[in-house]
Amino acid sequence: MSVNVGDPIPQATVFNKDLEPVDLAAYGRGRPLVILFFPGSFTSVCEKELCTFRDSMAAYNEVGAQVVGISVDTPFCQAAFAEKNRIDYPLLSDFNKEAIRAFGVVLPELKGLKELAQRAAFVADAKGKIRWAWIADNPGQEPPYDEVAAAVRAL
């Protein structure tokens, strides 16, 4: 079951590039939060998606929103991917798969790999309530970038 609009950000612990635990439900409190789930670092569609958000960060910064990307890759992989692509917002590791299960965005299988993050985007308000959600029909589908930005501006 996935998270619905109006639900609070679910409890899940993810890890930053320094292996420090991050309580996702508390992470965005006090500011809008854009949560981007993606199947895997160093893949073409994921790279395009995360770089598109990187190139749009001025608009998110203008309204005080925090953007985070989450996959089941290790924190080391996330750090290397962020460095290679000059991604200046946090990429968080859900290596233990808590967040993808809590949000209901488990991609059961992709080319033999089990339980990756299904591509999805969630926008939460400053109180931690989900105000907009999108889940891809397939891993090759990119998020509706303009709709994500509009959802953040509407907060």
State the amino acid at position 53 in one-letter form.
F
How high is the pLDDT of residue 1?
Answer: 61
Is 40 within a domain?
A: yes
Active site residue 77: no
Helix H or strand E segment including 8 = none
Tell me how many domains the chain contains.
Answer: 1
Is 5 within a domain?
A: no
What whole-number percentage of the chain has pLDDT above 70?
Answer: 99
| pLDDT tier, 29 (very low <50, low <70, confident <90, very high otherwise) | confident
The answer to whether the CB of 138 falls within 8 A of the CB of 67 is: no
Is 1 within a domain?
A: no
The pTM score is 0.94
The pair of three-digit structure tokens given for residue 80, joined into one six-digit string: 């290397």
| 48-64 residue pLDDT tens | 999 999 999 999 999 99
Concatenated DSSP letters of 105-116: -EEEEETTEEEE
Is 143 within a domain?
A: yes
* Domain around 70: 13-153
Can you give the CATH number for the domain in which 73 is found?
Answer: 3.40.30.10
Catalytic residue, from 3, 33, 46, 79: name it. 46
Is 8 within a domain?
A: no
